[in-house]
Structure 1
């Protein structure tokens, strides 16, 4: 068990998400950076979908009520276990009573802003509709369907004997960099209403920087940039949407649907951020800017293959380390 000593805001329990419910009006939820969650679970040799704590606001502090191993992935938050420094993307051992403190993320080369506290065997909250992820809009899943508060106690799984401390992984932000003209970028597929927008809007979409405004959250990222205008007024019935869809409301400033997005909407869709790049958006700081790179369906599939290779290589390295440790 771990006890939350200080939770700034919006820290939640998340796994890889709630699938199969979009047709019933149930969003996916899940980690904004699924690669960070997956990497932490690989490091700890957890089940692939073990739940962790997603931390978007700092400082954050927890106390371990029993000995275990853990990893902090995502952002480098200058972590400290009592007074000892905690490396990001690294496996550490905590004894009962020790306190982990996470501070504001450092300005690292991989530009991450969310941290994930992964524990051996995961955070053991009840699964709701097949997932332990917190769905804030519906107030279910996770820990009582809400952000964590000071004093919350979170049960953890039985500390597994498979994990070993003292090793780590290269963050995907370093292993899989993506930029356009020196600026962080994500790849985008043109969407259903792309051809309904003007040529100047197409040029703006691909050639300019888009600022992530303060009105952004787990539901959606509201962007600011050049106005995107349809060739003629568009009135659409509400229809199914998924995380990554870029909608353009009447004001002409796009919104990217994120992990807690509603499963339907009626704004025209100019593009969709490919699934393989959603983790990059999940780590993008509020107030920063991002570029869109147009890609093809085949290029999107290649990007997904790159993600699978990174995960497979991470698993292989962890297994090699553990086998070598047992052989000593």
Structure 2
């Protein structure tokens, strides 16, 4: 029998994501992929998956899942309360669930996106080389959109290995500050010096028009030098477009492939994820860095992601021990001594 996870209740926007669908933007196909690649990689590391395996990314509120078959090993990367059959368990720690057990992922205490991964991965057919969901085009994932109650997610492993569990201390991950770093361009010459000064000197907040495609921001108006239309060109991850309102839009994972507003800057890769964790009303500032500085920051961030398996530790408590090891211990000797 194929092992499944049955979705009892789905978060408001839970989608299957991996690193994304690369090489097809020229055909109008968006990249998609995890909005926070560090959490994506951390969830996979906790269950022993390759870093690029598909996970489920949830927004604000997580999912409720019941194991059908199994056992199944899962892990949640993100600061959310977790419950197995109403008993509290820890996030950032792998969990081995038996047939019929239910995991409930509550609301995130910090940030707006979390990820959960299952050992061995989900048995989904890639579309153009990726299982990432792009909901606007109904591409990838389980059925081209967000999870919903009643979905059954097929798993590649019939049964998780009976072994010790792993945990990751999130304080070891790079901190996310209130400054979002950018490289100016490619059309920074389409803005006045006053416009660029406003962009770099002011404080912006995330508006309520914010999703995986992009964040519309509210803050100082950015002045154009010669209108706000350009010949449409490619949209990279983190591009900061400025339409006629003078209010910037930062394009994220589900961004369109081309656009006709001038781009004053691009958010550097690690800070795109930091921005994607901000909720409407959160405030921050932009700071310009050079291309060389951005490359150095990216290299450091990549080294952290590649080194995630080395940051794992054995989970404490009984999650560390299987039944064979427990039977090898003298579990009552201390109690007898205490009665003497």
Q: TM-score scaled by structure 2?
A: 0.86
C-alpha separation in 1, matches of 2:261 and 2:235: 10
- CA shift, 1:154, in A, is 0.5
Q: Report the equivalent of 2:175.
A: 177
Structure-2 change in CA distance of 1:163 and 1:123 (3 Å)? farther
Stretch deviating more after TM superposition (121-130 or 234-243) = 234-243
Q: Report the equivalent of 1:127.
A: 126
- CA shift, 1:195, in A, is 2.5
C-alpha separation in 1, matches of 2:148 and 2:126: 20
C-alpha separation in 2, matches of 1:47 and 1:158: 14
Contact 1:68/1:95 (<8 A) preserved:
yes
- CA shift, 1:160, in A, is 7.2
Question: Any stretches of 5+ residues in structure 1 without a counterpart?
Answer: none
Structure-2 change in CA distance of 1:79 and 1:321 (3 Å)? closer
Stretch deviating more after TM superposition (154-163 or 290-299) = 154-163
Structure label with greater radius of gyration: 2
C-alpha separation in 2, matches of 1:59 and 1:275: 25
Q: Report the equivalent of 2:215.
A: 221
- CA shift, 1:164, in A, is 4.6
- CA shift, 1:57, in A, is 3.8
- CA shift, 1:224, in A, is 0.4
Q: Report the equivalent of 1:87.
A: 90
C-alpha separation in 2, matches of 1:269 and 1:289: 21
C-alpha separation in 1, matches of 2:163 and 2:41: 17
**Secondary structure in 2 matching 1:195:** helix
Q: Report the equivalent of 1:69.
A: 73
Q: TM-score scaled by structure 1?
A: 0.89
Contact 1:120/1:159 (<8 A) preserved:
no
Q: Is structure 2 residue 149 aligned with structure 1 residue 146?
A: no
Please report the RMSD computed on the Cα atoms of aligned residues, expressed in angstroms: 2.2
C-alpha separation in 2, matches of 1:308 and 1:235: 35
Contact 1:69/1:163 (<8 A) preserved:
no
Structure-2 change in CA distance of 1:104 and 1:188 (3 Å)? same
Q: Report the equivalent of 1:264.
A: 258
- CA shift, 1:315, in A, is 1.9
Q: Report the equivalent of 1:303.
A: 297
Aligned residues: 315
C-alpha separation in 2, matches of 1:95 and 1:155: 16
Q: Report the equivalent of 1:11.
A: 14
C-alpha separation in 2, matches of 1:199 and 1:126: 50
